[in-house]
Chains A and B, each alone.
Chain A
Amino acid sequence: DAKTTQPPSMDCAEGRAANLPCNHSTISGNEYVYWYRQIHSQGPQYIIHGLKNNETNEMASLIITEDRKSSTLILPHATLRDTAVYYCIVSAYNTDKLIFGTGTRLQVFP
């Protein structure tokens, strides 16, 4: 599976947009980008996924560059409850083995 690179930590003010970057320069044509997050003492939570088009759901937006070598997860109005570790994962659609890296620790402050 392709590897991803994420900054180890980021801060964001409550109410502002949180933009979390992910580099995946070796992504293959059939590999998707998945985002999960893990709030302290809980299991990871699925957020969103995409192949090449931008995606939006009730939790977040996913922007994938045209060359697919990087992506950004956007939390449009961050709240304190969005403080968590965010994992960007690249994997084939039919995989049953998600490979988590160390993620980005997002701290939302008042």
Chain B
Amino acid sequence: DTGVSQDPRHKITKRGQNVTFRCDPISEHNRLYWYRQTLGQGPEFLTYFQNEAQLEKSRLLSDRFSAERPKGSFSTLEIQRTEQGDSAMYLCASSLVSGFGYTFGSGTRLTVV
């Protein structure tokens, strides 16, 4: 297993467009997390899944954001009507247990112009 894979690595989009990111976790990991990171800050929690169930969402996840994890495998994060403030690195992580041993992907860097 090559770890957590995120696609695309970079995305440039115009304000108002919709974008979708994909995360493929480590296959045996049942927990999957999405974080957002802006320049100079640590990652901020957005949401997490246990298998296919989305169990927690941050207030940072406005109604323009939606995440899915069909069949408890890969996950997608969609941002509708992007705004310049959405420009950030979007990180996905997976784990078998809570708290430690998270494996992060290399992230998708979104630039909204």
Q: How far is the CA of A41 from the CA of B41 in the complex (A)?
A: 13
Do residues B43 and A44 form an inter-chain contact, with CB atoms below 8 A?
A: yes
Do residues A96 and B48 form an inter-chain contact, with CB atoms below 8 A?
A: yes
Shortest CB–CB separation between residue B91 and chain A, in angstroms?
5
Do residues A102 and B42 form an inter-chain contact, with CB atoms below 8 A?
A: yes
Do residues B107 and A43 form an inter-chain contact, with CB atoms below 8 A?
A: yes
Q: How far is the CA of A41 from the CA of B40 in the complex (A)?
A: 12
Q: How far is the CA of A43 from the CA of B108 in the complex (A)?
A: 10
Do residues B100 and A43 form an inter-chain contact, with CB atoms below 8 A?
A: no
The listed residue (B41, B58, B99) touching A102 by CB distance below 8 A is B41
Number of B residues with CB within 8 Å of any CB on chain A: 28
> Beyond A43-B4, A43-B104, A45-B104, is A95–B99 a contact (Cβ under 8 Å)?
yes
- Closest residue to B40 on the A side, CB-wise? A102
* Chain A hits for B33, CB < 8 A: 96
Do residues A43 and B45 form an inter-chain contact, with CB atoms below 8 A?
A: no
* Chain B hits for A92, CB < 8 A: 99
Do residues A101 and B106 form an inter-chain contact, with CB atoms below 8 A?
A: no
Indicate whether B101 reaches chain A with its CB closer than 8 angstroms: yes
The listed residue (B56, B104, B106) touching A96 by CB distance below 8 A is B56
Do residues B102 and A100 form an inter-chain contact, with CB atoms below 8 A?
A: no
Indicate whether B103 reaches chain A with its CB closer than 8 angstroms: yes
**Contact residues of B between 51 and 96, Cβ < 8 Å to A:** 55-56, 58, 91-93
The listed residue (A42, A46, A49, A99) touching B45 by CB distance below 8 A is A99
Query: Could you tell me which A residues sit within 8 Å of B by CB distance?
Result: 32, 34, 36, 41-46, 49, 85, 87, 91-103
Which 6 residue pairs are nearest across A and B when measured between Cβ atoms?
A43-B104, A100-B42, A49-B100, A97-B45, A100-B43, A96-B98
